[in-house]
Structure 1
Amino acid sequence: MSVDVHNLTRELVALDTIGHAESDALAVVAPLLEKAGFSVEIAEHEPGRGTLIAEWHAGLDEPPLCLSGHVDTVPLGAAPWQHDPFHAEPDGDRLHGRGTSDMKGGVAAIVAAATRIATLSPRRAGLRLVLTAAEETGSAGARLAAERLTGRPSGPLVITEPTGNAVFNGHKGALWLSARAGGVTAHGSMPHLGDNAVYKLARAVGRLESYAFDARPHAVMGAPTLNVGTFQGGLNTNSVPDSAEATVDVRTVAGQDHREVLASLARRAGDEVRLAPLIDLPPVWTEPGDEWTESVAEIAREISGHGEGPPRAASYFTDASVLTPAFGLVPTVICGPGEAEQAHVTDEWVSLTKLADSVAILERIAVDWCGT
């Protein structure tokens, strides 16, 4: 059975899965996988938001290789698109559309490679596909998949997030926080009768701006970062605000413990505010000396033409933050056809050549692991 990765990418991009309706996308790929011989289950964490688990010969001597990607996408933004975001017409070597790079192209490559591998006979191990919902907002689909897969052994994990088909050995963690301050409202002409929550929060945010992490920079991921992304408060102009909230985006590196980071930030922010996690996804890192990881990097170099270079890591998070620890800290790489710089942008695109190369890379990885 042969699945055309370009056409499948276009089919998936044509479906609006901006924070909803991921089950519609899975309804496209599930029959392809079932026809190829995969057992397929789809579970929804809320109506219409499905995550797919597909397995092929998962009960052999070695645990199955896992290929994973997400089918939800982010909003289009306010800027006008020059290309229809849901049509993905070829334009030279590019397909433009929301999700082409992040990451319906990567999902299409997984399905195309998996259906080709399924025509062979495995001697060593099988395949597992995990195609998730709600990755962009905290990996709810991956959490559901991890629950469903409890007790089922897993082999190494490949996440086809956008890397231009380079192999990344991990990514930073994401600790998103709310910072809330409370006060007492009063008339704006009599502020001495109130307790201004905006002032409290502003003082805390000022302290966070100058916060210095005590963690040493990671050799590949670099240093952790902190950004205050939003700040809201107040009832109206002529009232003393009795509540205010900011959100904080912390990106951590391997070796940091999120509980310790949160405690340190709370001390820095002070007693006038309360910090609470919104998203808590740990960093993921596989040492470059890992035998399987090295073999994957060699495959990607041979097919994509990426030369020798130092190990790399992504600044964004992936579902590996959930799946890698759930699978027992299996070796994990990120390698997909999209371009990281195209994620979430207007007129997002993916290279047709890199889509085809991604299928070839995934096929080779699977052949080596499964012993086909």
Structure 2
Amino acid sequence: MTDVIALTRGLLALDTVGQAESTAWKLLAPPLEEAGFVVAVAEHEPGRGTLVADWRPDLEVPPLCLSGHVDTVPLGAEPWRHDPSGEIDGDRLYGRGSSDMKGGVAAIVTAAIALTAGTPKRAGLRLVLTAAEETGSHGARYAAASLLDEPSGPLVIAEPTGNAVFHGHKGALWLQALATGVTAHGSMPSLGDNAIYKLARAVSRFEEYRFGIAPHPVMGEPTLNVGTFSGGLNTNSVPDRAVATIDVRTVPGQDHAQLTAVLAAVAGAGVRLEPLVDLPPVWTDPEDEWARSAAGIAGEVTGHPREPRAAPYFTDASVLTPALGSVPTLICGPGEPEQAHVTDEWCSLNRLRESVEIFERLGAHWCGL
């Protein structure tokens, strides 16, 4: 019998900080195959693969899809007080990725293996365990293009929610703003064309920009933040290049291509915008029959209130939900949202066990077990 705590610790011991996610499949694929899953891995670059595992895809109703990622962000410069590869202290399991989101992946796999002990009457299961989510869902994109060509039922992303049910998340549109000019000696600026001035004027206009749309009833308003600004090489030269990056978080109903064109016009003719990350928002109506049922199951396990919520971060659902046929999608996982990317990241052992129960009950309900 698979133990979710031991499996999480096994994943935490692997270094998947933006690399080598395929090492995780050496840990996860054998027990999944032994349980009856057909496993395939799509590597978008050597050693960086997304695992897709199917159990009983032959049944009439498309399978319930459970998904999570195993790549993590770096530890950070601040020293950790706890071992980042799986130290337990009381109810807390410490480690990079414990909340975001190796704990969620371990809960998915543990529940899925337990479900295969039964005989489904209605549908099977599909697991999509991804690489390279943190940098823009590259693993999910590659898997969607190469392995996900069969119909799917609803999708659950096990990102950190403290096992609450989130009905969606904002989109992420990250843009690079580039201004170019002509260099000259700093004592003779009239002979040059200062790229920093061009970009600074654009950034000032971005600060004043308003989207002009009604807030989403749960997600609220879209946002724009200029995150970085750099330009020039030395003090006594006119800079001929300046670059800024812009983080736009969108809500359902906003078209990213149209928004990019609008922001380009705001920036002005001397600034070029180029997309860095383009992930649309995701939202499932809380009154959707499956979503309402799933929220009820999670609420029974955890005691959480069932009011609709949305995640502040993006997930692979931006890629997987449309790739699977715009299926109903929920986000629900054992990690704590506030623990993502922090020093001494931890996940509650009790939440891990709760998560396994939630996924088992969701799977049993959908599969007819």
- TM-score by length of structure 1 reads 0.98
Residue type of the partner of 1:68?
S
Aligned to 2:79: 80
Indicate conservation of the 8 Å contact 2:194/2:239, yes or no.
yes
List aligned pairs for 1:139-154, cutoff 5 A.
139-154=137-152
Q: Give the CA deviation at 1:149.
A: 3.5
Residue type of the partner of 1:50?
G
- Determine if the alignment matches structure 1 residue 70 to structure 2 residue 69: yes
CA deviation vs aligned residue, 1:165-211 (integer Å, no higher than 9, x gap): 00011000000000000000111111111111111111101110111
More displaced, 235-244 or 333-342? 235-244
Q: Give the CA deviation at 1:28.
A: 0.8
Aligned-partner Cα distance in 1 for 2:31–2:205: 54
Structure 1 residue matching 2:62: 3-state secondary structure: coil
Aligned-partner Cα distance in 1 for 2:140–2:291: 22
Aligned-partner Cα distance in 2 for 1:361–1:257: 34
Q: Give the CA deviation at 1:286.
A: 0.4
Aligned to 1:194: 192
Residue type of the partner of 2:235?
T
Aligned to 1:59: 58
List aligned pairs for 1:75-224, cutoff 5 A.
75-86=74-85, 88-224=86-222
Aligned-partner Cα distance in 2 for 1:84–1:243: 43
Q: Give the CA deviation at 1:5.
A: 0.4
Q: Give the CA deviation at 1:249.
A: 0.4
Q: Give the CA deviation at 1:15.
A: 0.8
- Determine if the alignment matches structure 1 residue 300 to structure 2 residue 310: no
Aligned-partner Cα distance in 2 for 1:127–1:61: 12
Aligned-partner Cα distance in 2 for 1:217–1:289: 20
Aligned-partner Cα distance in 2 for 1:151–1:96: 37
- TM-score by length of structure 2 reads 0.99
CA RMSD of aligned residues (A): 0.8
Q: 1:322 aligns with which of 319, 331, 349?
A: 319
Aligned-partner Cα distance in 1 for 2:192–2:254: 40
Aligned-partner Cα distance in 1 for 2:220–2:102: 29
CA deviation vs aligned residue, 1:49-94 (integer Å, no higher than 9, x gap): 11000000012110000000000000111111111212x1111000
List aligned pairs for 1:341-360, cutoff 5 A.
341-360=338-357
Structure 2 residue matching 1:158: 3-state secondary structure: strand
Aligned-partner Cα distance in 1 for 2:183–2:58: 63
Q: Give the CA deviation at 1:148.
A: 2.2
Aligned-partner Cα distance in 1 for 2:273–2:210: 17
Aligned-partner Cα distance in 1 for 2:304–2:298: 7
Aligned to 2:363: 366
- Determine if the alignment matches structure 1 residue 262 to structure 2 residue 260: yes
Q: 2:270 aligns with which of 272, 280, 283?
A: 272
More displaced, 311-320 or 232-241? 232-241
Residue type of the partner of 1:78?
A
Aligned-partner Cα distance in 2 for 1:176–1:22: 24
Aligned-partner Cα distance in 2 for 1:208–1:345: 29
Structure 2 residue matching 1:262: 3-state secondary structure: helix
Aligned to 1:12: 11
Aligned-partner Cα distance in 2 for 1:194–1:181: 14
Aligned-partner Cα distance in 2 for 1:151–1:282: 21
Q: Give the CA deviation at 1:243.
A: 0.5
Q: Give the CA deviation at 1:151.
A: 3.2
Q: Give the CA deviation at 1:150.
A: 4.5
- Determine if the alignment matches structure 1 residue 340 to structure 2 residue 337: yes
Indicate conservation of the 8 Å contact 2:42/2:147, yes or no.
no
Number of residue pairs matched by the alignment = 369
Residue type of the partner of 1:63?
P
Q: Quick one: structure 1 residues 161 and 150, their matched pair in 2 at CA, closer, same or farther if it must change by over 3 Å?
A: closer
Q: Which runs of 5+ in 1 are unaligned?
A: none
Residue type of the partner of 1:368?
H
More displaced, 298-307 or 356-365? 298-307
Aligned-partner Cα distance in 2 for 1:220–1:45: 35
Q: Give the CA deviation at 1:307.
A: 2.5
Aligned-partner Cα distance in 2 for 1:232–1:58: 51
Indicate conservation of the 8 Å contact 2:67/2:128, yes or no.
yes
Aligned-partner Cα distance in 2 for 1:37–1:148: 22
